[in-house]
Amino acid sequence: MNKKQLEFIKARSKSWHLLEGNYEDLRDTCFKLANPTEKYSLDGRIWIMHEDEYILMLSAERKFHNFLSSAKSLVDHSRVLMKNYSEAEPFTAFEERRNKIGRSPIVKLCHDLRNYFLHQKNPTDNYFTHQTWYEEENIIISRGYVRISKESLSKYSNWSKESEQIIALLENPLDIWELAKEYYDEISEFNSWVNSEFSAFLEKTY
């Protein structure tokens, strides 16, 4: 293995680490938003809510941006790594698997969303609050979510066919955490497969 090949491997490993970290940051913030613990007394009722809910929502959107960006880096670094072995046996299998996951509607939508956030003016209707009143306890719990409305998504015109189909079928705003989880699960499986196949190849080759 030469120095350049080792650099490709390190770059891809770093990209996965960043994606995983961004995913965990997003998960933790979205969980905190949806599960407030701070209590306030107002008009004879107990409110359980985040005083800084809007800041938390902004933070969740920022972390979603970071997640999408790190996902793109991982895709690019995986492609560069395998193209460096384009004459080797694993490359054909990699291309087949990469093309398959590239056609996944969830993967397409996440990649399109990265461009949506880059080229569309930052939408202002991403933040939703759901308040539940528990009458017997006289408690109101205010839960926060970061979602993108169908109306906002429809204003952007540069969607892939797969993304357009998902958006057309939306009955509720697109929840960024649910989407990120679906994407992460698919990419995680693909990443594990690449690691396994590439490690086996290196063991036989070197």
Q: What is the pLDDT of residues 38-66, one digit of tens each?
A: 999 988 899 999 988 889 999 998 999 99
Q: Determine the average pLDDT of the residues in 159-180.
A: 94
Which value, to the nearest 10 degrees, does the dihedral of the CA atoms of residues 52, 58, 59, 62 take?
180
Q: Which residue has the tokens 């189909």?
A: 165
CA-to-CA distance for 132 and 140, rounded, in angstroms? 5
% of the chain at pLDDT higher than 70: 84
Q: Taking residues 119-132, what's their average pLDDT?
A: 73
Instruction: Give the pLDDT band of residue 1 (cuts 50, 70, 90).
Output: low
Collapse the DSSP code of 128 into the 3-class scheme (helix H, G, I; strand E, B; otherwise coil) and give the result: strand
The reported pLDDT for the residue numbered 90 is 62
> Does the pLDDT at position 178 exceed 90?
yes
Instruction: Evaluate if residue 126 carries a pLDDT over 70.
Output: yes
CB 29 within 8 A of CB 56: yes
195 vs 185: CA distance, rounded Å? 15
Cβ-in-10-Å burial (0-12, 13-18, 19+) of 81 comes to buried
Q: Which amino acid is at 117?
A: F
First to last CA, the chain: 7
Quickly state the pLDDT bin for 185 (edges 50, 70, 90).
very high
